[in-house]
Structure 1
Amino acid sequence: MGTFCVPMSYSPDPTPSSWTYRMADLVLCEPIELYNILNQVTKLSRLTEPNYLCLLAIFYSFQSTSPSSPWLSLFFCLSRNVTELEANNVRSKREYDESHVITARRVKKKANEYLIPESVDLECVKYCVVYDNNTSFLEILRHSSDDDVSDESREGPVLGAAIKCGKALTHLTRHPVRILKGGYERFSAMYHFFRTQKIIWMPQELDAFQPYPVEIMPGKIYLGNFRQACDPKIQKDLKIKAHVNVSMETGPFFTGDADKLLHIQIEDSPEANISPFLRHVCHFVEIHLELGSVILVFSTLGISRSCAAILAYLMHRNEQTLKRSWAYVKKCQNNMCPNQGLVTQLLEWEKIVLGDLVTDIKDLY
C-alpha cells in the first residue's frame, strides 16, 4: 500500500499562551468517545463509510536513561539516528500485529517523517483518532531540576508519540485530530473485545460488522437495539445484569425476573404514552446502579423509545434540562430521533424535574 509523508518539523513556542493556541487543533479523546464512534450505525455500521473514521496506531518503544523520568525518553528518542528509528518500526510492527483496536492502521516512521497510507483522505475524514501506548496529556513540561538535558532543551513541552503524529496531521484535516487518552493500554483494558490481530478489512467484512450498544455512563449504562439485547456475546462482554426494554418485543434474557427486567410495552408512535413509566425507569436504574449492575436500555431500533427513557433518567439524575441531556445523548447515539409525541412528554417531564419548562423544542433540532 502506498504512503505519503508527513514531516515532523513542528517546533512549539515554549510560552504557555502560544502553546495552548498551537495545541488547539488537538483534543484528547476519552475511551468512551472512541468506543461510541466505533459503534455508530445507520442501516449498516458507519465504519463502512470511507470518510467516517481514520484510526491510526503508533507504537514506539522508548527506553529512558533515567527510569524516574519516563517522559524524557521521548525527547531522547527524537535525536536517535535512522537505524534506531527503523528498529523502533520493527517493534512497532510487532506490537501492532500482536494486538490493536479494530480497524486501526499502523503509522510507520522513516527518519523524521510519518508515513500515512495514501488511501486515507484526511481532509474528508470526520474523525481522525491517533493513539499510542499510553499518552494521557496533551503536554508534559520538563522539570527544571532535570540535569541530564541542556538549558535549551529544558524549555517547552515534551510530546508523546501520538501527539507528535497528531500535530503533524492537523494541517491535513478539517476537524481537530483526537488523541486517545490513556492510549491502547487504557482502551484495551476497558474494551478488550475490540482488540484484534486483523490488519485488512474487506468491504463485505465491514458490512457484516455488528456494532455494540453505545455507552451512556462508562461501564454502567448502555443504549442499544433489540438485536443487541438478544446477543449473548454482547451481554457477556459488557457484563449486562439488567434490561430496560422499551418495545413490544420480548427478549430472551431475564424473562419473568422483575428484579432484572423492566419491560415497558409501548408502540413507537406519536400516540404512545411513556409518561406513566418515567419514574419507574429512574427508580429501576438507580437501584441497579447502587447494586453495581450494568444496565442495557433498548428498543427495536435503539433510536426513539429507549432514547426517551435514557433522556428522562439523565434529566432526573442530574436535575438538568432536556436540551442539555439531549445534546449529551445525541453525542453518544448520533442518529437518536425520539418521535414528536415522546419529545412532548419529555418537555412535560422537564417541568416535573425542574419545576419549570426551560427547553424550547426548536433547540432540539
Structure 2
Amino acid sequence: MKAWCGRLMHLPNDLKEMGVILSRVNKSCRTSSREHVNTTHTVSSISDREINSTTDSDHSSILPVLNKILYEPEELLVPALPEKAQVERGYITPQQVYNLLNAEEAHPALYDPYYILILDCRCADRYKENHVVTARAAVTIIHPELGCLISCIELQKYTIILLYAEEGCSPVGSVKAKADSPDLQRCFFQLSDLGMDPVILLGGFSAFSSMYPFLCTPRMVLLEPERHSLTIYPSEILEGALYQGSVSQASDYCIIKNLHITHVVNATANSPDAFPNTVSYLRLRLSDDAQQDLVEALPLASRFIKAALKAEPAGRVLVHCSMGRSRSSALTLAFLMEHRCWSLLHALRWLKERRACSAPNLNFLSQLLTYEEQLFGTRLTSLDDIRR
C-alpha cells in the first residue's frame, strides 16, 4: 500500500477502483456559517407564477397549514437508481476532471502543487497553443526513450496523475489506443511500471476544451503563487445543468458568464443577489443551525430548479450558500430526490462524488429524511447510513 493512499479524502466509487485519490481533504477543516437572521424567503427577478409553473406530470403542491408550508405530493414517487455513464477502465470523464480541478475543502485543492499532475501527451506545438490549466508537456516528465526524468519518490507525492492526448476513448493498451495515441500509451505504462496509478481523460483535450474552454490556457501554470491566481468554479452536479458553490463564486460575473448560469438559488442569510438584472433568483434566507426549518424551502427550491431546467431554452442553475457546503447541499439533495426519484442515500452519494466538501448539518439531514418519507411514502434511508 502506497503511503499516499492513506490521506484523508473522498473518493468516487469508480475512481476508487483505479486507485485514484480525489482530493486531500481534512474533515476537521469544515466550517459553517452560524448567523441567526430572519428565515423567511423572498424571490427576486421571477414571479410566483414562474416559480410554480409545472408540467402536466408534476402533481406537487405546497399547502399552508398552521402558519407553515407542508409539502404533500398528490402521487408518491417510485424510487429509482442513478444511472452512471459506462466508462472504460483507466479513463475519467471531462466532467470528473472539471470537478477535480475545482475541488475544495478548507481551500481549493488546486492551490496545492502536489494535488494533481496533468501530463499533456500531444506534440509540443499543440501544448504551447493551448492546454488544460496546470498541465505540463509529458516530454518534460517522461521521455519516450530515456524513461522517467524525475524521481519515483517525487512522482509519489502527487495525489492524482492525469494524462491526455488530442482525442481517445479506446480501451487502455488496445491496438486502436496504441495507434491513436502512442505517446500517451507509452507514458501510461511507464508510470504504471513505476507503481503509479495514472488515469486518462476520456475524449482527450478535444472533448474537454469544447466543454470547458475557460479551464484551458496557453500559459504554463505550475508554481503555487500562480495557482492562487486561478479561478475556482462551482461543482457541476448535473452536467451542463446544475451547479453548487459558494457566495463568492455566485458573485463572480466571469463564473456566471462562463457557465451560462441563468438561475440562482441564494440560500445565504445576508448576502444580496449579485446580478438581479441578468439572472433570475430564488432568495431564501436560511441559517446553518439546529433551529432552521426547511419545510418551506425544500419544495420551493426544488420547483424553482425544475422550472429553470425544463424551460425553453433550458436554463442552468447555481445553488449557493456561504461556503457551498450545508444549506446549498440540502436544497440540491431535495431536488435530486424529488425530480430524479433518488433516495436520500443515493442523492447524497451522487452529490459527494461531485462535491466532496458537501456536508448538510444534522438538522438538515433529519429534515431531508422526513422529506424523503413524504415523497416516497416510506423511509428509504436511515440516519446511520448517511452519517458514515
TM-score by length of 2: 0.70
Q: Match for 1:130 among 148, 160, 163?
A: 163
- Provide the secondary structure at the position in 1 that maps to 2:228: helix
Is residue 139–residue 159 contact of structure 1 (8 Å, CA) maintained in 2? no
User: CA, structure 1 residues 290+300, in 2 after alignment: closer, same or farther (shift >3 Å)?
Assistant: same
Which residue identity is paired with 2:293? Answer: N
Could you list the per-position Cα deviations for residues 120-152 of structure 1 after superposition, in whole angstroms to 9, with x for gaps in the alignment?
833343222111100122258669xxxxxxxxx
CA distance in 2, matches of 1:58, 1:157: 13
CA shift, 1:197, in A, is 1.5
Q: Distance in 2 between matches of 1:173 and 1:208?
A: 33
Distance between the aligned counterparts of 1:244 and 1:208, measured in 2?
Answer: 27
Residue of structure 2 equivalent to 1:313:
335
The 2-side partners of 1:231 and 1:216 are apart by 19
The unaligned stretches of length 5 or more in structure 1 are 1-22, 60-91, 144-155
State how far apart, in whole Å, the 2-side matches of 1:357 and 1:113 are.
60
Contact 1:32 1:215 in 2 (8 A): yes
The CA distance in 2 between the partners of 1:348 and 1:296, in whole Å, is: 25
Change (3 A) 1:340 1:178: same
Count of residue correspondences: 296
Greater shift, 126-135 or 25-34, is seen at 25-34
Higher relative contact order (CA 8 A, sep 6+): 2
Q: Is 35-44 or 293-302 further displaced after alignment?
A: 35-44
Q: 1:100 — aligned with what?
A: 131
Distance in 2, matches of 1:141 and 1:100, equals: 25
- State which of 176, 181, 184 in structure 2 corresponds to 1:160: 181
* Counterpart residue number, 1:43: 106
* 2:372 maps to 1:350: yes
Tell whether 2:266 aligns with 1:245: yes
Query: Which residue in the other structure is 1:230 paired with?
Result: 251
Verify the 8 A CA contact 2:112 2:224 in the aligned structure 1. no
Higher helix proportion (structure 1 or 2): 1
Q: How big is the shift at 1:341? A: 0.6
Q: Secondary structure of 2:264's partner?
A: strand
For the pair shown, which has the larger CA radius of gyration, 1 or 2?
1
Residue 57 (structure 1) aligned to one of 113, 120, 125: 120
Q: Which runs of 4+ in 1 moved over 4 A?
A: 23-26, 113-120, 139-143, 156-159
TM-score normalized with structure 1 length: 0.74
The CA distance in 2 between the partners of 1:167 and 1:97, in whole Å, is 25
| CA distance in 2: counterparts of 1:142 and 1:52, whole angstroms | 32
Deviations, residues 54-103 of structure 1 (Å, cap 9, x unaligned): 111100xxxxxxxxxxxxxxxxxxxxxxxxxxxxxxxx111111110000
Match of 1:266 among 253, 276, 286: 286
C-alpha displacement at 1:210, in angstroms? 3.0
Following TM superposition, by how much is the alpha carbon of 1:112 offset from its aligned partner in structure 2, in angstroms? 3.6
Counterpart in the other structure of 1:68: none
Letter in 1 for 2:360: P
Which residue identity is paired with 1:337? A
Partner SS state of residue 56, structure 1:
strand
Give the superposition deviation at 1:351: 1.0
Q: Structure 2 matches for 1:89-238, cutoff 5 A?
A: 92-108=123-139, 110-115=143-148, 117-118=150-151, 121-139=154-172, 160-161=181-182, 162-173=184-195, 176-238=197-259
1:129–1:140 distance in 2 versus 1, CA, 3 Å: closer
Alignment partners' CA distance in 2, 1:139 and 1:39 = 26
Q: Distance in 1 between matches of 2:175 and 2:90?
A: 21
Deviation track 1:189-225 (CA, whole Å, cap 9, x = no partner) reads 1001111112143212223433111101111111110
Gaps of 5+ in 2: 1-16, 20-88
Is the Cα contact below 8 Å between 2:344 and 2:381 reproduced in 1? yes
What's the offset of the Cα at 1:166?
1.9
Q: Does 1:284 find its partner at 2:317?
A: no
| Contact preservation (8 Å) 1:139, 1:158 | no
State percent identity of aligned pairs: 26
Contact 1:129 1:178 in 2 (8 A): yes
Deviations 1:148-205 (A, max 9, x none): xxxxxxxx9757343442233224456x422101100010010011111121432122
Deviation at residue 48 of structure 1 after TM alignment? 2.2
SS of the aligned residue for 1:283 comes to: helix
String of CA shifts for 1:303-346, please: whole Å, max 9, x gaps. 11001111111111221111111111111111111111111111
Counterpart residue type for residue 284 of structure 1: F
